[in-house]
Copies of this chain bind each other. A is one copy, B any other.
Amino acid sequence: MSVTHATGYAVFDPKDYLNFKLQKYELEPSADDRVTVAVECCGVCGSDHHTISGGWGPWETKFVVTGHEVIGKVVEVGKAVKEFKVGQRVGVGAQVGSCGKCKACKTGLENYCVQPVHGYNTKWYDNKEHQGGYSTHVRAQELFVFPIPEGLKSTDAASMMCAGITTFSPLVRNGAGPGKKVGVVGLGGLGHYAVLFGKALGAEVTVFSRSDAKKADALKMGADRFIATENKGFEKDLKRDLDLIIITASSSSLPLDELLSCLDIEKKCVFVGMPEEGLSNVRSQTLSDNAVSLSSSHLGNNAELRQMLQLAADKGIKPWVTVMPMKDAAKAIKAVEDNSVRYRSVLTQDIEA
């Protein structure tokens, strides 16, 4: 019997974005390439807060059910689905569809598809609304569904589907590994994954954070070095020291000139935090001193996501997560907003079928 509806914790007004209400809604119709997943748990991402509060602009859909770090069980597969079977444990991240026709799709970079279908607050190509994982069910194209290795707990795997891959992809695409030095700016949900995966890949990791408040945590996560950027001149001993910087802080007032001076010649600084106000002013002279690049990155492709999950299982990577029932969504969003989450919240299913 086909699944036609989901029930989720919905927000109805960006001005009242902590007011989640249970809402039943029609799922987008299934299709041959779709996998339907019964949600077991779902991570809480900074994007959820940016979206429901209207910080990233007006909504695409009438109400919003956020959540794009889903782990659950397959309950239905389309005729063309090859890999997945009903009952299998899978993950679904922040993208659920791609056009399959653009150059990005044709070259295995479906995360840069020119017409991506995001995890919620979005519409499919047929204009049907898609909502996220603070709910009973989500549906996705097979390409965006991933088997979860046995060794990984669902509540550990959940936030890897977005926060994890967002940092893992730029790490591997820019050669993080043995003998390489990686700087991680900001220690939140994304930053803590950058440390965990940077170390798991064999790189030396330096964490940059405003104050010393998170120093003990960073070192416990495996960071080799911790730098408080509120100390004037913090960059002096690090000139041209690093091979890569991942900026996970969602702030437009970072000491960019100083941070960039820590990169070796022609190396890259990748932003994965997405401040609502844009980046701070960048001096082209700063970039020319060592020919460094400022870049960004969007999620990761299918192969990178599988590689990440397997690495996490093989190395026993444990994210620092707080688990709570889904009805506490507002509490979890509040913890994102006031920056008190250490370092990711995961909501577990509590909606009666």
Contact = CB atoms under 8 A, between A and B. Distances in A.
Contacts of A112: 265, 289-291
A288 interface: yes
A37 B264 CA distance: 34
Which of the four size classes fits the interface of chain A?
Answer: 35 or more
Interface in A164-188: 173
A288 B298 contact: yes
A115 to B, nearest CB: 12
B275 A284 contact: yes
A287 interface: yes
A281 B279 contact: yes
B279 A283 contact: yes
Contact of A265 (B104, B271, B274, B278): B104
A293 B291 contact: no
A34 interface: no
Contact of A114 (B239, B279, B287, B291): B239
B282 A282 contact: yes
A294 interface: yes
Interface in A75-126: 103-104, 109, 112, 114
Nearest to A297: B291
A296 B291 CA distance: 5
Interface of A: 103-104, 109, 112, 114, 173, 239-240, 264-266, 268, 271-275, 278-285, 287-298
